[in-house]
Amino acid sequence: MKSRWRRRTFESVGLTEYPPGPNLERLGGQQKVYVTRSGNDNIGAILASMGVEFEPFRGAFDCTLLFVNCDTPDHVDPRALAEFVRAGGCLYASDHADRLITQVFPGIFDFGGHVGNPGHVTVDVLDPELRDILGPRITVEFDMPAWSVLLGGRAEPILLSAEGSQQAGRPIMAYAEYGQGSIFYTCFHNKAQTSDREKRLLQLLVVKQFSTTSHQSFEQTGRALGLRLDEIRGLHR
């Protein structure tokens, strides 16, 4: 399956402020990241585990990459968000942010409601770069009920629920382009008891986004962000 990734220059995200550090500097250009306040997940914890500096979202869109947590208490203005992505911004959103995605980008992602059940889901890895690191199939845990089911739409699947798992054949994570920008949506997210394997998956998904925005390869981006990709490969072989 041929991927449609485009290489652009965007910036990063945040929930807690960090001073400029070496990791984003290694990617080149101006990388500025905003993260909304946590709700049912906290992607800021994954960014912090990678040494990626970010700032809390306060309503402005003068960033290159915006992370929207599931059920964040922050208000994200729909019109401003649409313009942010259309002009070249990169958006990451998870689970119950589906309502915002549907409002801002109608028809791109097709959702089936908050009907996902808790439990382990076996996932086929469709993206070639992630597949090279993780292998063709992994297992993730949904620790909470009523997670948002993604039926498809015009988005490109990155992770797909495997045959025999709940929601088989449906995307667990997908990517879409909108104007000059990009949207990443994931049903799976960071949780209180994220396992080492799931933490690595989320870190690699972050690498994927920074690779898309920095004009660098997945391997280069992973190294710049301090991940030992060969070690991760070994753990999944």
Q: How confident is the model at residue 87, as a pLDDT?
A: 94
What's at 123, amino acid-wise?
A: V
Per-residue tokens: 172: 């667990």
Q: How confident is the model at residue 111, as a pLDDT?
A: 97
Number of domains the chain contains: 1
Q: How many residues are there in the chain? A: 237
What is 210-235 written as a DSSP string? HHHHHT--HHHHHHHTT--HHHHHHH
What's at 173, amino acid-wise?
A: M
Tell me, yes or no, whether 56 lies in a domain: yes
Tell me, yes or no, whether 5 lies in a domain: no
Instruction: Show pLDDT as tens, one digit a residue, over the chain (237 residues).
Output: 344 444 333 233 332 332 333 456 556 556 789 999 999 989 998 998 888 889 999 999 999 999 999 999 999 999 999 999 999 999 999 999 999 999 999 999 999 999 999 999 999 999 999 999 999 999 998 988 999 999 999 999 999 999 999 999 999 999 999 999 999 999 988 775 577 778 888 899 999 888 887 777 888 888 888 888 888 886 665
Q: How confident is the model at residue 19, as a pLDDT?
A: 33
- Cα angle 23, 44, 70 (rounded to 5 degrees) comes to 145
**Coil/strand/helix, residue 43:** helix
- The CATH number that applies at residue 198 is 3.40.50.880
Tell me, yes or no, whether 9 lies in a domain: no
Distance of CA 223 to the CA centre of its chain: 18
Q: Which of 76, 55, 73 is nearest to 64 (CA)?
A: 55
Q: Which domain holds residue 200?
A: 22-235
Tell me, yes or no, whether 7 lies in a domain: no
Q: How confident is the model at residue 23, as a pLDDT?
A: 53
